[in-house]
Amino acid sequence: MGDNNWVALEEEDGKTYLVELVDKTHKIKGIGVINPHEMLNHLQLGDSIQLGHKSFVRLPIGLPELSKSMLRRAQTISAKDAGMIIAKMGIGSGYSVLEAGLGSGGLSLHIANVIGENGIHLTVEPREEHSNVGLENLRRASECLSEFPKHHHINGNIEDVVDQIKSIKSDFDSIILDLPQHKSAIGSVAGLLKTGGRLCCYCPVTSQVESSWEACEENGLTVEWAGELIERPWGRASRGGIRPVNGPFGHTAFLLVATKK
Ligand SMILES: C[S@@+](CC[C@H](N)C(=O)[O-])C[C@H]1O[C@@H](n2cnc3c(N)ncnc32)[C@H](O)[C@@H]1O
C-alpha cells in the first residue's frame, strides 16, 4: 500500500486525474499521450507541470482525490449522503460492512477509507459491467490509501447469495442497500445484522422509503431515522462577497436507517 505507483494531478478548474506510473506511452483521457513514468515520476507533492496546453499540480492521494478521479458507470453515492450514512450508522475502525450493490464503488471508497485495515468489507453486485468499474476503483484505493480493509466481492443478486455471504461472514455491524428492490433484499439479509447493528437503505424515490420501512419492521428492525439531507454550496459572487451559488437545488435520495435491538 501507499501511493508510490500513482500520481494525483489536479487541473486549474479542480478536475482531478489519478495516473498509474507505468513505463509505457499511452493516451490518458483529459491529459494526452504521455509516458507517465518518464513525465511524472520526478514530481514532488505540490509541484506543477505543463502537459500540452494544460497545467497540473501534483497532490497527495486521499479520499477526495480518489472520488473525484474515479471511473463511473452506475449512479454513485456522493460525499453528502456517504457522510450521513457513515455518521448515522456509526461506521468506524474495524467495522464489518455488507454493501449491495457495489455499482461504481462510490460509497465503497468512503467505507474502505473509514473502516481501515481491521475492517471487513463485503460487496455484492449482479452486473459485471458495473462491478468491473467498482472493483477497479477499489483496486486503486487499495494501492493509494495508507490502510485498506479485508475486501470480498460476490457476483449476484444479494437475495441469491446469502449462503455465499455467510460462508465468508455470518454477522455484520452494518448493511447498506443501494439497489432498486429493497424489500426482498432486507428480507434476505436482516438476519445477518448483529444486535445493535444498523441497516441503511438509499432510496431515490419515496415509494422505496415506504416499502423499506415496512420491510424493516416485518423483519424485526426498528427504524431509527428516515429523511433527506439537502446540500447548498456557496461560491464567490462576481461583484464581491460569497453567497449560495446559482444552479439546480438537486435531489439525490432519501435515507432510512434501522437498527436491530
Ligand atoms: C445505483 S447503483 C449503486 C451505486 C453505488 N452505491 C455507488 O455509490 O457507486 C445500484 C446497483 O445495484 C445493483 N443491483 C440491482 N439489484 C441488485 C440486487 N438484487 N442485489 C445486489 N445488487 C443489485 C445494480 O446492478 C447497480 O449496480
- 145-193 per-position pLDDT tens digit: 999 999 999 999 999 999 999 999 999 999 999 999 999 999 999 999 9
Task: State the DSSP code for 178.
Answer: -
Is-contact 159 184, C-beta < 8 A? yes
As a whole number, the mean pLDDT across the chain is 96
Ligand 1 centroid to residue 238 C-alpha, Å? 41
What's the pLDDT band for 1 if we cut at 50, 70, 90?
very low
Write down the domain spans for the chain.
6-61, 67-259
| pTM, two decimal places | 0.95
CA distance 175 to 193: 7
Q: Is the pLDDT of residue 39 over 70?
A: yes
Q: Do domains 6-61 and 67-259 have the same CATH topology?
A: no
Residue from 73, 131, 161, 178 whose mutation best tests the ligand 1 pocket (most atoms within 8 A of CB) = 178
User: Hey, what CATH class is 67-259 in?
Assistant: alpha beta
Atom of ligand 1 lying closest to residue 202 CA: 6
pLDDT digits (tens, 9 = 90+) for 97-116: 999 999 999 999 999 999 99
| Residue located via cell numbers 493509494 | 144
With a 6 Å cutoff on the Cβ, whether 76 touches ligand 1 is yes
pLDDT digits (tens, 9 = 90+) for 127-152: 999 999 999 999 999 999 999 999 99
Strand intervals (E) in 188-261: 193-203, 222-227, 234-236, 242-244, 254-259
Which of the four CATH numbers 2.170.8.10, 3.30.56.10, 3.10.330.20, 3.40.50.2000 does domain 6-61 have?
3.10.330.20
Burial code (b: 16+ CB inside 10 Å, e: under 16) for 126-140 equals bbeebbebbbebbeb
With a 6 Å cutoff on the Cβ, whether 200 touches ligand 1 is no
* Helix (H), strand (E) counts: the chain: 8, 15
With a 6 Å cutoff on the Cβ, whether 126 touches ligand 1 is yes
Atom of ligand 1 lying closest to residue 77 CA: 8
CA distance 34 to 37: 9
